[in-house]
Structure 1
Amino acid sequence: MDQWNLLSNLVNCFDENSGYAFVERFIDEQNRLPLKLRFKYSSVNHFFILMMSKVQRVFERNRDFLLLSPHDRTILLESTAEYTATIGGMFLLHQAKLLNDLTFFKSAEIIFPPSVMFFAQRVIDQFDSDDTFIKLVLTILAFSTINYTVYRKNIPINLTNITTILPIQDMYTDLTWRYLLYKYGHHEAVIRFSNLLRCLFSVSETIVEAHKTQQFIDIIDYVVEQTEQTLFD
């Protein structure tokens, strides 16, 4: 019962704070415009910045995250934001089917090189069909203590109390595995976890490729800055 309550609270937190309502409003506003004015570069660029920032609210309001020391929250935020904001953003795009709109896609290719969009589309194509599973995976990543994709200068890496974080990792990983077992059985659960690993490798490729553009670095820096202001103001 405790695990079902935790799962329910996590899903509700994601649905209320992930920014999907913001995405829907953006699409509605664009659809009200004449065809030739929809999804222009400036509006799509602003959309990406806000969308990737808003998805972090899920983790700002996670009860386990808020129990950590301010220092450890900062370390986790700065080391995982690239993953959580990138995957969370692609998940929202996937839910809204925005990349299926050619006009939006072309504007996105101006912001990010075609190679980045290619990798992003591949990640989206590999997303599991179970949205709850993806939300659980995002939560696990938010508490990840390993940062190995790219090297960024001037980011502290030492947690003050990793023994507090490891049980949280274990708890969400165990919850995810039990959820898959309950819903799909052992064989299907193994397949879905294997596919998840393949998807995460594609995410790493996307982030490495995106790091070649200053635009992506600026967005991640903005996401971290805005989240820190929310947490510590």
Structure 2
Amino acid sequence: MNNNSNLFLCKATRNTYEHRRSSLLCQVCGDRNARNCFGSVSCAPCKMFFRRNLDFDLVINKCIYDGNCEMHENSRHACRYCRFKKCLTVGMKKELTRPPRLNQKKRIGKQITPPLIRRLDLLNSNRSKLSFDQWSILSNVTHVYDQISPLPKILNSLSQSSFPPKKRLRIDGATLADMLGLIYRSIYSFLERIPDFTMMSIHDRNLLIERNLHNVGSTSGLLILRDGDLYSNYAFCRANLNTYGSDNFEGVSKLLNRLDMDRVAVKLFVVVLAFSTCFDVVRPSNMTNNIQLSKSTNRLHFNTINMFHIQNKYIDMLFIYMVYRYGYIEASLRFAALLFTALQLCVHTMEAANIQEHGDMLDTIIADTTRKLNVEDDPVV
């Protein structure tokens, strides 16, 4: 009898515990099945969100709405700022996210790291070989890139602060095209502030825009997508899925996770790609027209030697910078990873170009940009 009573009490206690555990609500968004995580009760999505955004700065970044966004299961993706702020408000602690044994592993790893081979000493001497002029160019490139970045305008478009919350969760294809168009248009604004581009002939500048705008804009777009955490925005993701399909969306999402975390390296890499003579696999639109062979042939010719020297200048700068930051071996791996990401992205940009809305948007931007170049080159009467 006592055994049966004890068994009944154990089952009742277990059921009560399971019910209580399943009824816990996330203190961030109110979702069910929450657990104790990082010093507070949170659901699995909010736990992962907090872990991924440990470096998010609440001082630099601001809410794209009014600073008091409502947090629940369906709207928690709308505002990164308010969600992270609430994570901290309910007691989630950054210091609890790293296991204590991680530091021990790092110490052990440092102890067993073999000494560098002597023949690498010459390469390691490059860790401080960026000249004053190169540091100045690097600083100017990164500053100009941030200055002309379309990210604030995109975030403002996504906020739609004058609309009710339900309307904020939906954007149409035209609005998405406008947002992506800002990214592609920013490439010319970026390049026209680089002296090496402005010193080129109008012919070569036109060719670079026609050939490279699509893939260079897409590579720059990866960095903008990551900086703005746009793939965590429900409305932006939904519009992308409707326009480009799940395969393209998932492919770009994987490349976002693979993109180098060094923003300076990615910005320099965008410049390297911009001065390539053969990066874009999409043929110029004028090649499909019935024009004379001599004219079309001239459209294919760059001042190749000059282009090579310009691109080589930025490649050297990029690689020496990466060696300075990470050492020769890791710099080589990171540089190869950047190339791999760019080549993989070419596949997705080529697929996107087959979508009429996307192709029309690119044709319009290229036509507007080349027209602007030609107008600037016309002598003033």
Q: Same fold (TM over 0.5)?
A: yes
Is residue 2:313 matched to residue 1:157? no
Q: Partners in 2 of 1:135 and 1:220 — Cα distance?
A: 22
Counting matched residue pairs gives: 231
Which fold has the larger relative contact order, with Cα–Cα distance below 8 Å and residues 6 or more apart in sequence?
1
CA distance in structure 2 between the aligned counterparts of 1:205 and 1:56, rounded to whole angstroms: 23
Tell me which of 162, 177, 184 is aligned to 1:45.
177
Aligned equivalents of 2:323 and 2:142: distance in 1?
18
* Residue aligned with 1:40, SS: coil
Q: 1:22 and 2:164 equivalent? A: no
Q: What are the within-5 Å matches in structure 2 for residues 16-165 of structure 1?
A: 16-27=147-158, 29-38=159-168, 39-41=170-172, 42-147=174-279, 149-155=281-287, 156-159=299-302, 161-165=303-307
1:58 partner amino acid: F
Structure 1 length normalisation: TM-score? Answer: 0.91
In structure 2, what is the equivalent of residue 9 of structure 1? 140
Q: SS at 2:327's partner residue?
A: helix
Structure 1 residues 87 and 61: CA distance shift in structure 2, 3 A:
same
Matched, 1:200 2:336: no
Deviation digits for residues 32-76 of structure 1 (CA, Å, limit 9, x no counterpart): 532211141142232222332224311122111000000010011
1-side partners of 2:200 and 2:234: how far apart?
Answer: 43
Native 8 Å contact 1:180 1:189 kept in 2: yes
Quote the Cα distance in structure 1 between the aligned partners of 2:191 and 2:354: 27
Contact 2:244 2:352 in 1 (8 A): yes
* Conserved? CA contact 2:255–2:341, under 8 Å: yes
Q: Does the CA contact (< 8 Å) of 2:142 and 2:267 recur in 1?
A: yes
Give me the whole-angstrom Cα distance separating, in 2, the residues matched to 1:128 and 1:53.
23
Is this contact kept in 1: 2:226–2:256, CA < 8 A?
Answer: yes
Distance 1:154 1:45, change over 3 A: closer
Structure 2 gaps, min length 5: 1-131, 288-298, 376-381
Q: Shift of the alpha carbon at 1:154? A: 2.1
Distance 2:251 2:300 in 1: 28
Matched residue of 2:271: which SS?
helix
Question: Which letter maps to 2:281?
Answer: T
Given the alignment, which residue of 171, 179, 189 partners 2:331? 189
- Runs of 4+ that moved beyond 6 A: none
SS of corresponding position for 1:56: helix
CA distance in structure 1 between the aligned counterparts of 2:209 and 2:176, rounded to whole angstroms = 25
Q: Deviations over 1:100-131 (max 9, x none)?
A: 11222011222222222222212212110000
**What's the offset of the Cα at 1:199?**
0.7
* Alpha carbons of structure 1 residues 148 and 48: separation in structure 2 relative to 1, 3 Å: closer
Partner of 2:6 in structure 1? none
1:31 deviates by 4.7
- Rounded Cα–Cα distance in structure 1 between residues aligned with 2:245 and 2:350: 12
Q: CA contact under 8 A between 2:184 and 2:213: conserved in structure 1?
A: no
Task: Kindly state the Cα deviation for residue 83 of structure 1 after the two structures are TM-superposed.
Answer: 1.1
Partner secondary structure for residue 222 of structure 2: helix
The CA RMSD measured in Å over matched residues stands at 1.8
Give structure 1 stretches of 5+ with no counterpart: none
